[in-house]
Structures are given as C-alpha cells and as structure tokens.
Amino acid sequence: MLGRKTFTPAEIDQARTAVRAEVAALRVHDDPVLATALLLALDRRFVHRIRSASGKDTNPVTELELIAESLLDHGGVLTPNKVIKYQPERSVLGLQPGDRIAPDADAVERLADAFLAELSVRFGEDVAPV
C-alpha cells in the first residue's frame, strides 16, 4: 500500500469506537502489556500515513509513531529517531527519552483521543492536499 495523506471520517470514527471499548476492557484488567498492545493496534490502523502530513514536530501523531517504534524495536524504552524532533514537554504523555513505556488506561485514553483528534486535522478528507 502506498502512503496515505487522508483518512475518511468513517475510518477515524471506527477507530474511536474501538478505542473506547478497548480502554473499557483495559480498565478492568489494568495491564500495561495490554495497554501497549492497544497503542500498537491504534498505530497499525493508520500505519500508512505520510510524513509530509504527520509532520516532524512533536504532536500526538508523531508521538504515537515514536511509541510504536520504541515498543517494537527498542524493548519498550522510548527512543527518539532522527526524523521526529521530539520534545517531551510538547507530548501528551510527557515521556522522556529512555523512559520505559508502561501506560495505564488513562494514558492510553489521553494519547488515543489526542491522536485521533490530530489525525482528523492533519489527515481528514477535508484538509488541503499535502
């Protein structure tokens, strides 16, 4: 699949509905391993987003990208890359480079809500072409 610069409102709404159900289940089980799996699942839904739309600054879209990359490639330790200019003070979760990623349900919900809101702004079908 080629990179995408737009997502439909239906795709974003489906993700929002899934996240609500997943966070509710997470609140029952309170498991950081499940929490990280939920973040990876959210990232996967929109994995083909293009850089020119997601940006290189610290925003919820790039924050989730860094978290997913860190979970998959860096043993769950937040590891900035050379592309995204990560600034912890501008992030949703406030993780510092080198922090272990072990979110609770509140953190997953905050990041997911912020990610989907920012995704709508940057990738919504009504945005100007990139």
pLDDT in tens, 101-118: 999 999 999 999 999 999
- What's the domain count of the chain? 1
> How would residue 6 be classed by pLDDT, with cut points 50, 70 and 90?
very high
Integer Cα distance of 98 and 126 in angstroms:
37
> How would residue 2 be classed by pLDDT, with cut points 50, 70 and 90?
confident
pTM above 0.85, yes or no: yes
- Whether residue 1 is contained in a domain is answered as no
- Whether residue 51 is contained in a domain is answered as yes
Considering the chain, what is the average pLDDT of its residues? 95
- Whether residue 76 is contained in a domain is answered as yes
- Whether residue 56 is contained in a domain is answered as yes
CA-based nearest residue to 127, from 1, 8, 10: 8
- Whether residue 68 is contained in a domain is answered as yes
Average pLDDT over residues 4-32: 96
Exposed, middle or buried by CB within 10 Å (0-12, 13-18, 19+), for 77?
Answer: middle
Name beta bridge partners: 49: 4
Name beta bridge partners: 77: 100
Name beta bridge partners: 4: 49
- Please identify which residue in the block is written with the tokens 């997943």: 22
Residue 42's domain comprises 9-123
- Please identify which residue in the block is written with the tokens 């089980």: 29
User: Do 127 and 7 meet the contact criterion of CB atoms below 8 Å apart?
Assistant: no
- Whether residue 128 is contained in a domain is answered as no
- pLDDT value at position 127? 57
- pLDDT value at position 80? 96
> How would residue 35 be classed by pLDDT, with cut points 50, 70 and 90?
very high
